Structure 1
Amino acid sequence: MDESKMETEVESVSSNPTQEEEDPKRYLKGFRLIVAVLGLGIILFLPTAEASIVSTSLVTISEDIGSYDRSSWIITSYLLTYTGCLIVWSKITGVIGLRPALLWSAAIFIPFSGACGAAKNVEQLITFRAFQGIGASGLYSVSTIGMFQLVPPRQYSQINSIAACFTAVWLLIGPVVGGAISQTGDWRWIFYMVLPIQAISIFPTLLVLPSRFPLHCEPKVKSKLQLSSILDLFKKIDALGTILLLGASALLVTVLEEGGVQLAWRSAVIITCAILSGIFWLAFIFWERTSGRDDSSENAMFPRRFFGNQIFMANLFGLFVSGVPVIVAVIELPQRYQIVNAASPLSAGVRLLAYAAPLPFGIVFANTLTGKYRVPFIYSLSGGAILQTIGFALQSTLPNTLRTWPGQYGYSVITGLGMGMSMGTYYIMTPISVGKKDQHLAVGAGLQARLLGSALGIAIVNNVLNNYLERHLPPSQLVDLRSSTASLSHYPIEMQRGIREIYGEGFNLQMRVSIAFCAAQFVVVGLIARKKALRIDENGKMTGGGL
């Protein structure tokens, strides 16, 4: 992309706010704004905290229903549908509106959360978690989009800080809640607590949101496509693109999760899934570029103009690669504390606070730099990537002793600050790197990229751990431990020490793998570097440009 094109691209997104954007009636104020922000923030709790709550309780769950070797699928099945549907829900929100989309997603999330709590075996739990993920993706996507629709662009930095801090706080609370519930021995309440929390948050939010929000100030226009049939709705939400994206994601994660663990890398199933995944990805890209060829097209889930927007695509890549380290720390550190350091689920959740607590501070710091002081994005992104890389490099050297080494909490603080700076910057760049009419799709795509990176990251690091254990543990021990890590306490003390050391080295290896994804974020810095550094102007728009 040459300099003139880049300058045009940035100017088209950043300059001359339209009359509808300046109309104060489009946005909420005062008490209604406070209630809406709090309501949407609480709605974010369950989808955000689910992964960290369940991860802290994963050992307890697997001990109760067995199959520790497949326990990662309790997380992965949720993440697969969660990530696969985020941009779909953003498209649905644009078609039916914010209020109906919230109700639909809650109607899926709540009953399947109850079904997870009633699951009799790991197969049922994995299946119900997949359906729960569909509803959770709706709650997360619609709530995040709603946050940006509540206020004008000049307030995006503040609302982004609030939304991101809600997310970070829920990540912080999640492990403690999961650990406390698991320590009682009844992990099923992790899923049963959904109903009252959703009722408290969703109904006040719906009451303060105007009808047809955020289009309540525009006259009702009869749509070209009447939603009088299922076919019309499928056209509106880009059903073919949805199927291709879900297929591509599911097949790829299946390859990473099962390859070298349940199935050999050269097995027919793994090779077939890998080939089909590649075909689905190519078909998805081809379909979206074709269906979105006309810039006036309303049906494309990922419009053609997104592919030509280098800033947006670079930001999307950054969200994808940063999704790996953020979830690896949340999922794997509690398991390390429980297996290597013999911590209880509650203790593991409390120890994770060393990583989770600095996240909100990193987010607010990054948004203050870029929003209030107009510091270019490349500096906050570089700072975040440096801290993450250093933090994970240090955590890959942790001693594998039963007693927890206190210095590792300092490493977690460094990592958490870095993750917060990156998250805050990526999230504020997402809506302002595209035009107003595309913001709901851009936010959905950004969320999906980060969570898809998380799903793939969990599959990769668990595959690394399982392969390491296979090389260093006898088959008989491996079978016992994969069935339930509680069997570790049945071995003699000396043997326990050796097993814990092997697990510890496996967890350290996971951290080394994560370093590569932290360092990959420097690619984003290079891609968005311009003669006039990209930053936020006084109107909340992106300014800068030139190669």
Structure 2
Amino acid sequence: MAGDAHGTTGQARHPQPSAARPTGRDARTEEHVPGNVLVSIGALLLGMLLAALDQTIVSTALPTIVSELGGMNHLSWVVTAYMLAATAVTPLWGKLGDQYGRKRLFQTAILIFLVGSALCGMAQNMAELIAFRAVQGLGGGGLMVLSMAIVGDLVPPRERGRYQGLFGAVFGATSVLGPLLGGLFTEHLSWRWVFYVNLPVGVVALAVIAAVLHIPRRTTRHVIDYLGTFLIASVATCLVLVASLGGTTWSWGSPQIIALAVLGAVLAVAFVAVERRAAEPVLPLKLFRIRTFTLSAVISFVVGFAMFGAMTYLPTFLQVVQGVTPTMSGVHMLPMVLGLLLASTASGQIVSRTGRWKVFPVAGTAVTTVGLLLLHQLDEHSPTWEMSVFFFVFGLGLGLVMQVLVLIVQNAVSYEDLGVATSGATFFRSIGASFGVAVFGTIFAGRLGGKLTDAFRGAQLPPGVSVDALEADPRGIAALPPGLRPPALQAYASSITDVFLYAAPVALLGFVLAWFLHEDRLRGSVTAPDVTETLASNPVERSSYDEVCRALSVLGTREGRREVYRKIIERAGYDLLPAAGWLLLRVRRYGVVEPAVLAERTSVPLHVIMAGARQVEERHLAVREGLDLLLTERGREIADDLARAREESLAELLGDWWGPDRPRDLIQLVTELNGELCGSERERPHDGRPATAGVG
């Protein structure tokens, strides 16, 4: 919330002499905000880029990886291992960062991620690749949560919305670039470069962070729920193992599958018992007493199930059945990503502006169901335009519901549970994604063998070509005689598209559940979440303070600055120019301002500042001492009223969170944001002038 009064968002930045530094919490922030903040943010963006890219870049390389390493029936685990590991450790990284400092932990997360990337590139079989992908995921979870948390250490609340927008842009870009880069590396270098490319980027990020990232060591003591984290990860792993191995590696009634299912149930009971007693549970059970949270969690599971399952198998359909190159399969995926981004952005903005949200989860799950049924219609003869339309419809459905689910969860819970409820909503999408990819893989592998056998029954296959070989390596189709290729392609096509048919009832369940959501009125502070909460599979965990801080600062940056001050003045009951109100608040904050120098320090035009200065002088609200403006007694009273009006406006946006027992950190946030709006510490009255007034 920059301090200009004429509707612009820009803000000049100038170094501040040590004599003019503010004190208290703002002083701690001020120490590390100057010039190198953008370089530090750039390094954090590189770290986020690594983790975000690895969720999408692998998909277009999977058919080639499977062809070289074998194990088509375990293809899904290349994606699932990364997601499960990243999901399980995300809360741990967040709380360890609070406790021991985030810089070293962020560097550790990068190192773990780079080691995992190097090992993935050197993998010699599918089992090794899956294990090394899990190592990558352990680091990836840390990159996600810590990069977002460090932004809160680097910049004051007023500016966080701007920087978190950059992280959102990185996610949007990786969702588009991932499939394209995966295809390019696979086609022109090797699938191994999908992983090796992380190494130079990660080394640059490590070097920059070591050199320029200086953040204060502010520790927050936590009782970390290690046991709860381990149990929830174990339950999820058991479920995914049952889904992926049942009916393929082992029969559904086999002792192994039954044992896994029983173990999962026992661990789930143990998890519930542990969470009831945990001081800081990784997933508070009381959240499930809130109907909106429970329904949103199930719908999030459905969205993750459909989205990542489809994103994993569509490149296989395009490359094997349609015969397109890995690069072009990434291009063919763009309509889906475009639909997702368009609908996600539009729905979030519409909800934030209108306060009405129920139509979006209902419409989104319905369109997703239709999209899955359309994808089921695809075959080896489908034209490009038809595939593009179907992909776009599917992406549109996902986008309509993804943004809104996080928003309505934030609206439904109390302030103390805001952070954990937000990460909980994306946690269930992550589990749904892991489960969906595994189930899709089981259906695909189970049907492919039978359909290939039926296709070649009675046919004479060339030497060295068998159903098992074709099932493990789709490149064998090229070795078939021309007359036998169409049935092989049809077997692959129908096996993949059947997956979407089986997923449609799951999406339909989400549609039915969406009707039971109760449309509570949105708090004014609940705004469209950033894209990191929409596209990421990782449940990025932020504190309740951080969540409200993000919401209020995003809200503030959306308003025109002139309009902000007009509303403050109107609420306080005065008839002043916006620039006059702005000047009064600045003089209140700093004790004195020089209008001409202020025009140099800010992006407010000189004529606007001079008009405001004339009005406050004419009304005897301020007097001149040389070139400086100082408040009169009457001017100070009005400035106090204006400051109080802005604080009341911010508090009003918090709704029932601003109750009689509101926590101290929430009071601190409102005071801090109120003070920052009234005048930025870095826009000094003039060089060397001490700050003689309190926080505005």
TM bracket, shorter-chain basis: 0.7 to 0.9
Aligned counterpart, 1:10:
none
Distance 1:154 1:423, change over 3 A: farther
**Deviating more after overlay: 392-401 vs 526-535:** 526-535
Aligned AA for 2:68? D
| Equivalent residue, structure 1, for 2:435 | 456
- Matched with 1:329 is 310
Q: State the partner residue of 2:237.
A: 250
Match of 2:372 in 1: 392
Match of 1:75 among 52, 75, 79: 79
Instruction: Out of 276-285 and 305-314, give the one that drifted further.
Output: 305-314
Partner of 1:270: 257
Out of 512, 526, 532, the residue aligned to residue 501 of structure 2 is: 512
Task: State yes or no: 1:378 paired with 2:345.
Answer: no
| Counterpart in the other structure of 1:190 | 194
Question: Retained in 2: the 8 A contact 1:161–1:364?
Answer: no
- 1:229 equivalent in structure 2: none
**For 1:361-510, what aligned pairs fall within 5 Å after superposition?**
361-371=342-352, 373-401=353-381, 404-429=383-408, 433-434=412-413, 438-474=417-453, 477-510=466-499
1:315 aligned to which of 278, 296, 302: 296
Counterpart of 1:377 in 2: which secondary structure? Answer: coil
**Quick check: 1:90–1:441 contact (8 Å CA) kept in 2?**
no
- Distance in 1 between residues matched to 2:492 and 2:171, nearest whole Å: 30
Secondary structure of the structure 1 residue equivalent to 2:498: helix
Cα pair 1:156 1:428 within 8 Å, conserved: no
**Do the aligned partners of residues 189 and 246 (structure 1) sit closer, same or farther apart at CA in structure 2, a change above 3 Å counting?**
same
The runs of 5 or more residues in structure 1 that have no matched partner are 1-22, 226-235, 292-296
Alpha-carbon shift at residue 252 of structure 1 (Å)? 1.1
Q: 48, 54, 60: which is aligned to 2:52? A: 48
Residues 248 and 280 in structure 1, CA contact (< 8 A), matched pair in contact too: yes
SS in 1 for 2:354: coil
- Go from structure 1 to structure 2 and tell me whether the alpha carbon gap of 1:35 and 1:102 turns closer, same or farther (over 3 Å shift): same
Letter in 1 for 2:327: L
Structure 1: distance between partners of 2:153 and 2:375: 39
Q: CA deviation at 1:458?
A: 0.6
Secondary structure of residue in 2 paired with 1:237: coil
**1:7 match:** none
**Distance (whole Å) between structure 1 residues aligned to residue 275 and residue 512 of structure 2:** 25
**1:76-131 deviation digits (Å, cap 9, x = unpaired):** 22222122223333333343344343223212111111111112222221211111
Q: Which residue of 1 aligns with 2:282?
A: 301
In 1, the alpha carbon distance for the partners of 2:356 and 2:151 equals 24
Change (3 A) 1:38 1:97: same
Instruction: Indicate how the Cα distance of structure 1 residues 424 and 89 shifts in structure 2: closer, same or farther if over 3 A, else same.
Output: same
User: Does the 8 Å CA contact 2:407/2:526 hold for their aligned counterparts?
Assistant: no
Determine helix, strand or coil for the equivalent of 1:473.
Answer: helix
User: Do the aligned residues in 2 keep the contact of 1:256 with 1:460 (CA within 8 Å)?
Assistant: yes
Cα distance between partner residues in 2 of 1:418 and 1:163 = 23
Q: What fraction of aligned residue pairs are identical, expressed as a percent?
A: 24
Distance in 2, Cα, partners of 1:31 & 1:417: 40
Is contact 2:153-2:216 (8 Å) kept? no
Structure 2 residue corresponding to 1:286, chosen from 269, 273, 281: 273
SS at match of 1:211: coil
Give the Å deviation of 1:380: 2.9
Deviates more, 1:56-65 or 1:527-536: 527-536
* Contact 1:56/1:345 (<8 A) preserved: yes
2:114/2:198 contact within 8 Å kept: yes
- Structure with the bigger RCO (C-alpha within 8 Å, sep 6+) is 1
Residue type at the aligned position of 1:175: P
CA separation of 1:52 and 1:528: change in aligned 2, threshold 3 A: same
C-alpha distance in 1, partners of 2:37/2:293?
A: 29
RMSD: 3.3
Normalised by the size of structure 1, how large is the TM-score?
A: 0.81
Deviation of residue 208 (structure 1)? 7.1
> Match of 1:426, as an amino acid?
L
Confirm or deny: 8 A CA contact 2:28 2:216 kept in the other structure: no
2:67 corresponds to which residue?
Answer: 63
The equivalent residue for 1:341 is 322
Mark the CA change 1:421 to 1:148 in structure 2 (over 3 Å): closer, same or farther. Answer: farther
Q: Secondary structure at the match of 2:483?
A: helix
| Aligned-partner residue type, residue 489 of structure 1 | A
Work out the CA distance in 1 between the residues paired with 2:100 and 2:248: 43
Structure-2 residue corresponding to 1:106: 110
**SS of equivalent residue, structure 1 residue 417:** helix
Number of aligned residues: 499
Quickly say closer, same or farther: Cα 1:251–1:91, change in 2 above 3 A.
Answer: same
Q: Residues 375, 70 of structure 1: CA spacing in aligned structure 2 closer, same or farther, 3 A cutoff?
A: same
In the superposition, the TM-score normalised over structure 2's length comes to: 0.65
Of 264-273 and 195-204, more deviation after overlay is shown by: 195-204
Distance 1:395-1:535 versus aligned 2 partners, 3 A rule: farther
1:355, distance to aligned residue in structure 2 (A): 1.1
1:260 aligns with 2:241: no
Residue 378 to residue 156, structure 1, CA distance change in 2 (3 Å)? farther
Shift of 1:406: 1.9
